[in-house]
Chains A and B, each alone.
Chain A
Amino acid sequence: MAYSDKVLDHYENPRNVGSFNAEDEDVGTGMVGAPACGDVMKLQIKVGENGIIEDAKFKTYGCGSAIASSSLVTEMLKGKSLDQALEIKNTNIAEELALPPVKIHCSVLAEDAIRAAISDYRSKNGTQAEGYEACKSAA
């Protein structure tokens, strides 16, 4: 199994591992995947009053590529607005990590995790309607 250096780097030194309190108003939590599929990602965002993602944390049960995808995503999210975050595509993630075709689904799951986290935040903060405009099926 040949992993790219970027994947190995995220695997050996994952960024932003951990959890926020899911009950907090300013936290959005997305949990996607299933143990039977071999991939479960939990992604959490902490959103500031100005609608900018201040912080992000992740926990993943999955292969090296899944761990790397979710770790990279936490880095990509910080400092973005929610709408900007929804623009992140799995292809960005896959390219950055040089994922082989058999591992592209890890980047898709990571993109789903972003949407799930934002959707959760918005439903807690009453701005749900906007969440679905950007909802086009992932490439």
Chain B
Amino acid sequence: MKQLPIYLDYSATTPVDVRVAEKMIPYLTTLFGNPASRSHSFGWDAEKGVETARQQVAALVNCDPKEIIWTSGATESNNLAIKGAANFYSGNGKHLITVKTEHKAVLDTVRELERQGFSATYLSPLENGLVDIEAFKAAIRPDTIVVSVMLVNNEIGVIQDIVTLGNICREKGIIFHVDAAQATGKVEIDLQKLPVDLMSFSAHKTYGPKGIGALYVCRKPRVRLEAQMHGGGHERGFRSGTLPTHQIVGMGEAFKIAREEMAKENARIRALRDRLWAGLSDMEEVYLNGDLDQRVPHNLNVSFNYVEGESLMMAVKDLAVSSGSACTSSSLEPSYVLKAIGRDDELAHSSIRFSIGRYTTEEDVDFAVSLIKDKVTKLRELSPLWDMFKSGIDISSVNWVHGTESHRDPEKVAA
């Protein structure tokens, strides 16, 4: 048995694969040159590392290496793609479309552009988390220039129909950006077939180091962007800044491993996830958040009714999981993704996201199932709402007495 807590939060981040770490280290101490140094072998060796990695990343997603730009991570890629395209193409219009369930790196970027004078539509997804294609079509205006929809959602793991959405955008000459941070190594990505103009990648979700990512910028047809980082014109002017060779080599190696091992790994992980769901869904009043089929094999997001969220998180401290997503787990607000798919506050609060990964074992899953079952049962035994549910009372019809009113008006005290 591994040491506690058991890590089931791979969607938050992944450990760097040992093979990746080994590839990176020489570039810290021996092959430390600046890849932009044209005049000596320190630079040439570093550049070689960078270009090999670029090919490895391009190979995973089947694009031309020239279409890969290095960034500091998917957040920066999202910023560069959306701000870069919106600003470049603002002559054609100033309307943007995205979805309420996007990562904050997209939502906050769009919000910032609104502050700068753009207008935006935030689509509500269907209850299963998928974009409503008809609603999407209806939202398009003559002045729409950029659309951003993530391929895989970080909280509920659903896979969007990028092909259909992309074809609609192509038809109308709208730039289509896809945040694929949670998708690499989990679903097939073939940019020769996908009608996508810009795609963001992250290393640390795919067993690479944190602090490095990439942006795919389509060359056929050529997509233009206004650079967000200036200073030297690196990466063909798209993104200035000395390239972190060791980070890039790490990302390349991680993506190479992903390409080689994805099929087998996904089959194993899907089996583990299904085992987890089978164990948890054995209890009453357990709700799956997001579509089960249109979903990556790693993710399970579940709400446990009649159990309060914070007490639930305290109960499962032997599991490293998150309620909602990592970025919202420090605040006490219910997950905005779960609210966007129609979950009321209480169910949104009492949710847990499990995300399985390369090092998860069957033992880990069985431990999680038995811990959750035990704790949820105990918390329900403590819960007056569970009592009421069991005796058939419709909780939504109860006239609740809030706090201090109880002793002022005896008639209102619920017996």
Contacts and interface: CB of A to CB of B under 8 A. Distances in A.
Interface of A: 1, 3, 11, 14, 17, 19, 22, 29-42, 59-64, 66-67, 108-109, 112-113, 115-116, 119-120, 123, 128, 131-132, 135, 137-138
B383 interface: yes
B319 to A, nearest CB: 15
Closest 3 CB pairs of A and B: A34-B400, A63-B310, A116-B406
Contacts of A30: 406, 413
B387 A59 contact: yes
B410 A120 contact: yes
Given A1-B314, A22-B415, A32-B406, A116 B385 contact: no
Given A61-B308, A112-B407, A119-B410, A35 B382 contact: no
Interface residues of B, number: 31
A131 B407 CA distance: 8
Contact of A109 (B311, B384, B403): B403
Contacts of B382: 14, 17, 59-61, 67
Contacts of A11: 311, 314
Nearest to A23: B415
Interface string B374-406: 000000011111110000000100001111101
A87 to B, nearest CB: 14
Nearest to B346: A35
Nearest to B411: A123
Nearest to B409: A119
Contact of B403 (A17, A19, A33): A33
Contacts of A37: 402
A116 B395 contact: no
28 contacts: A1-B314, A3-B314, A29-B415, A30-B413, A31-B414, A32-B401, A32-B402, A34-B402, A37-B402, A38-B346, A39-B308, A40-B383, A41-B384, A42-B384, A59-B383, A59-B387, A61-B382, A61-B383, A63-B311, A66-B308, A108-B403, A119-B406, A119-B413, A120-B413, A123-B413, A128-B410, A132-B407, A138-B404
A31 B408 contact: no
B345 to A, nearest CB: 6
Contacts of A34: 400, 402
Given A11-B314, A19-B387, A119-B410, 19 more contacts: A1-B313, A1-B314, A11-B311, A17-B381, A29-B414, A31-B384, A31-B413, A32-B401, A32-B402, A38-B310, A40-B383, A40-B400, A41-B384, A59-B387, A61-B307, A61-B383, A64-B314, A119-B407, A132-B407
A17 B379 CA distance: 11
Nearest to A31: B414
A37 B349 CA distance: 11
A79 to B, nearest CB: 22
A120 B404 CA distance: 15
Contacts of A36: 345-346, 400
A33 B400 contact: yes
Contact of B406 (A14, A112, A132): A112
B306 interface: yes
A83 to B, nearest CB: 14
A35 B311 contact: no
Interface in B275-320: 306-311, 313-314
B366 to A, nearest CB: 23
Contacts of A128: 410
Interface string B38-59: 0000000000000000000000
